[in-house]
C-alpha cells in the first residue's frame, strides 16, 4: 500500500515496530503498518498544538472552504476509497461505496456548519448587563475510531473538529488503519495545514490513548466502539475533566406491529440487519414481530436472506463479504449455537463454511428465547433473531429491557400509533418505517450505556467547542 507509516505534522514517519493488516476475505497480509509509541504521540500533540493556533484564528468561511474542498476531492475518488475499505474490512463493494459516500458527506455538512457557530446577545432582566455568548474551539481532540466503518467513523469526527477550529490526533483501529492513512494526502490537497490532523496507528492502543488523555493540551476525546472500552476511556478522561463524545454499544430492537406494511417491514429489517453485514452498533439485534404476522414475516425474511450471495467483496456480484476477523466470526457462530440449544429454529444459514476467509452465512433464527445470548448482547454479524409478541405494552417493555439505548426501529401503518410507540422507547434514535437512521445532518447518539453526546447535525460541531459567556455593560 502507498501509505503505511505514521502521519505526523504533514509527513510520513517510519517505525521499527510494525503490525500486519489482514484481508478478511483471503486471510492474506495486505500491508505492514507502522505502530506508534508514546514518543510519537508527543510529536503529534506538539504538531497539532502549533497548527491549531493558526487554524482557530482563521475565519469560519476559510475553514469551511477547506472542508468543502475535501468533500469534492473525496467524492471524486469514491471508488478508490471503497476498494480500500473492502480490502481491509471485508464488506461488499456496494456497501463499501455507500460508506465512502457517507464519509465524504460529513465534509460537506460541516463545511456548511462551520459558519453557523451562532452565539447571542441578550439583556439580563435583573442586572441590566448584556449577556454575550459565543462558542470557541475546545482544544486538541483525540479521536479513537473503530474497524467497522474505516472511513465514515473518522470523517464524522475530523470534519466537526476542523469546523470548530480544533487540531486532532486520530487513533484508527488496528484492523483497518489503511483507509484513514490514505485520506491524509487528500486533506493536504484540500488545504488542511500540516500538523492539524495526525494519524497514529498502533498495536499499543491502551497505553497510547491513555497517555494522550493525560496531556493537559488535550480537551476532547471522541470515541466510537464498545461500551466496555468506553467506560475505561471515561475513567481516564475524568482525570482531566475532558469533554467526552462517546458512541458506544447497542442492542437495537425492531418492533413490527400487526398493522405494518409487510413490504416496508421486510425491506427496512433487511437494511437494519444486513447493512455492513450486521457489524454496526445500529444493526437490528432483537426482531419482535406480532404473532399474527410472524409466520409470513419469517418466511419472507428467510427468502431474502437466503438469496444473498456470500464471497469476496471485491467481486461485484457479491452481496455479503466476510466478517472482519476470526474472533468476530466465532462469536457469531457461538451466538447461533447458544440460541439453538435454548430452543431456536434455524430457518436458513447457521453453518460456518470451510476454507479461507472469515465468512458466516446470512442466518435467520425463529422462536428465539429471551435468555439467548444473542438477545442479551450485540450479535455484530448477519444473524436475524426473531421473537414474537402479542401485546403492544409488552413489547415496549421488552424493547427497553436493556442497558443500551442507541437505536430502535418501529414498523406500523398507523402513524399516530407508531409515534406513540417511538416516544416510549428509551433510545436516542428511532427509525420509523425505515431501517436506516444514520445521516450527517442528524444528531447521532444514544441514551443509557450507549454513549454521551452527539455526532452529526449542529450538535456534532458543538462537541468540539466550549461556550463562553461574557457579562458586559455598555
Q: Is 322 helix (H, G, I), strand (E, B) or coil?
A: coil
Secondary structure of 424-436 in HEC code, one letter for each residue: HCCCCEEEECCCC
**Cell triple for 314:** 471485491
Q: Of 178, 166, 172, give the one whose Cα is nearest residue 153.
A: 172
| Annotated catalytic residue 247 | yes
CA separation for the pair 248, 228 (Å, rounded): 8
Could you tell me if 411 and 265 are in contact, meaning their C-beta atoms sit under 8 angstroms apart? yes
Q: Is 21 helix (H, G, I), strand (E, B) or coil?
A: strand
Tell me phi and psi for residue 443, to 5 degrees: -75, 100
Please report, for the chain, how many H helices and E strands are present, in that order.
15, 22
**Cell triple for 186:** 487528500
Q: Give Cα separations from 25 to 37, 293, 474 (angstroms).
A: 30, 37, 68
List the Cα angle 422/427/433 in 5-degree steps.
40
Could you tell me if 446 and 405 are in contact, meaning their C-beta atoms sit under 8 angstroms apart? yes
| Annotated catalytic residue 281 | yes
Q: Of 253, 278, 302, 251, give the one whose Cα is nearest residue 410.
A: 253
DSSP lists the bridge partners of residue 23 as: 28
Render 217-242 in DSSP notation, one character per residue.
Answer: TEEEEEEES-HHHHHHHHHHHHTTTP
CA separation for the pair 34, 201 (Å, rounded): 7
* Catalytic residue, candidates 281, 348, 374, 422: 281
Could you tell me if 42 and 140 are in contact, meaning their C-beta atoms sit under 8 angstroms apart? no
CA separation for the pair 324, 423 (Å, rounded): 35
**E strand or H helix at 437:** none
Could you tell me if 340 and 362 are in contact, meaning their C-beta atoms sit under 8 angstroms apart? no
Q: Which residues contact 66 (CB under 8 A, 6 or more apart)?
A: 162, 190, 191, 192
CA separation for the pair 316, 216 (Å, rounded): 48
Q: Give Cα separations from 192 to 44, 296, 312 (angstroms).
A: 15, 54, 35
* Catalytic residue, candidates 247, 279, 347, 463: 247
Q: Detail the DSSP E strand segments found in 291-437.
A: 345-348, 363-366, 383-389, 404-405, 407-411, 429-432
Q: Of 348, 393, 340, 395, give the one whose Cα is nearest residue 368.
A: 340
The catalytic site residues sit at 247, 281
Amino acid at each position: 500500500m502507498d501509505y503505511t507509516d505514521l502521519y505526523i505534522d504533514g509527513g510520513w514517519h517510519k517505525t521499527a515496530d510494525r503490525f500486519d493488516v489482514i484481508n478478511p476475505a483471503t486471510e492474506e497480509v495486505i500491508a505492514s503498518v507502522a505502530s506508534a509509541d508514546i514518543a510519537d504521540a508527543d510529536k503529534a500533540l506538539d504538531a497539532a498544538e502549533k497548527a491549531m493556533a493558526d487554524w482557530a484564528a482563521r475565519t469560519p468561511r476559510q475553514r469551511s472552504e477547506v472542508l468543502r474542498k475535501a468533500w469534492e476531492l473525496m467524492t471524486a475518488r469514491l471508488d478508490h476509497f471503497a476498494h480500500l475499505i473492502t480490502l481491509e474490512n471485508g464488506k461488499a463493494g456496494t456497501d463499501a461505496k455507500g460508506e465512502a459516500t457517507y464519509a465524504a458527506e460529513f465534509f460537506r455538512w460541516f463545511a456548511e456548519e462551520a459558519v453557523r457557530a451562532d452565539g447571542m446577545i441578550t439583556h439580563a432582566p435583573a442586572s441590566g448587563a448584556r449577556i454575550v455568548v459565543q462558542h470557541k474551539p475546545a482544544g486538541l481532540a483525540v479521536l479513537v475510531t473503530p474497524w467497522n466503518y474505516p472511513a465514515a467513523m473518522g470523517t464524522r469526527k475530523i470534519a466537526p473538529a476542523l469546523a470548530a477550529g480544533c487540531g486532532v490526533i486520530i487513533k484508527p483501529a488496528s484492523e483497518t488503519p489503511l483507509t484513514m492513512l490514505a485520506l491524509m494526502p487528500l486533506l493536504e490537497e484540500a488545504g488542511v495545514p500540516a500538523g492539524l490532523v495526525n494519524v497514529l496507528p498502533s498495536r499499543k492502543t491502551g497505553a497510547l490513548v491513555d497517555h494522550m488523555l493525560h496531556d493537559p493540551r488535550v480537551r476532547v476525546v471522541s470515541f466510537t466502539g464498545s461500551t466496555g472500552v468506553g467506560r475505561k476511556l471515561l475513567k481516564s478522561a475524568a482525570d482531566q475533566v475532558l469533554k467526552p463524545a462517546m458512541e458506544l454499544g447497542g442492542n437495537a430492537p425492531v418492533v413490527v406491529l400487526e398493522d405494518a406494511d409487510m413490504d416496508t417491514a421486510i425491506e427496512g429489517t433487511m437494511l437494519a440487519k444486513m447493512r455492513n453485514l450486521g457489524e454496526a452498533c445500529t444493526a437490528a439485534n432483537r426482531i419482535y414481530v406480532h404473532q399474527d404476522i410472524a409466520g409470513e414475516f419469517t418466511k419472507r425474511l428467510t427468502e431474502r436472506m437466503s438469496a444473498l450471495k456470500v464471497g469476496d467483496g471485491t467481486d461485484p456480484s457479491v452481496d455479503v463479504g466476510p466478517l472482519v476477523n476470526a474472533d468476530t466470526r466465532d462469536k457469531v457462530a457461538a451466538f447461533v449455537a447458544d440460541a439453538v440449544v435454548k430452543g431456536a429454529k434455524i430457518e436458513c444459514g447457521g453453518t460456518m463454511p470451510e476454507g479461507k476467509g472469515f465468512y458466516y452465512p446470512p442466518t435467520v433464527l425463529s422462536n428465539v428465547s429471551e435468555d439467548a445470548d444473542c438477545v442479551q448482547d450485540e450479535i455484530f454479524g448477519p444473524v436475524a433473531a426473531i421473537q414474537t409478541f402479542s401485546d403492544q405494552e409488552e413489547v415496549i417493555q421488552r424493547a427497553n429491557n436493556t442497558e443500551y439505548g442507541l437505536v430502535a426501529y418501529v414498523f406500523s401503518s398507523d402513524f399516530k400509533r407508531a409515534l406513540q410507540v417511538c416516544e416510549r422507547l428509551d433510545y436516542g434514535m428511532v427509525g420509523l418505517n425505515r431501517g436506516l437512521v444514520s445521516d450527517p445532518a442528524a444528531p447521532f447518539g444514544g441514551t443509557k450505556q450507549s454513549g454521551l453526546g452527539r455526532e452529526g447535525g449542529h450538535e456534532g460541531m458543538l462537541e468540539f467547542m466550549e461556550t463562553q459567556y461574557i457579562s458586559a455593560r455598555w
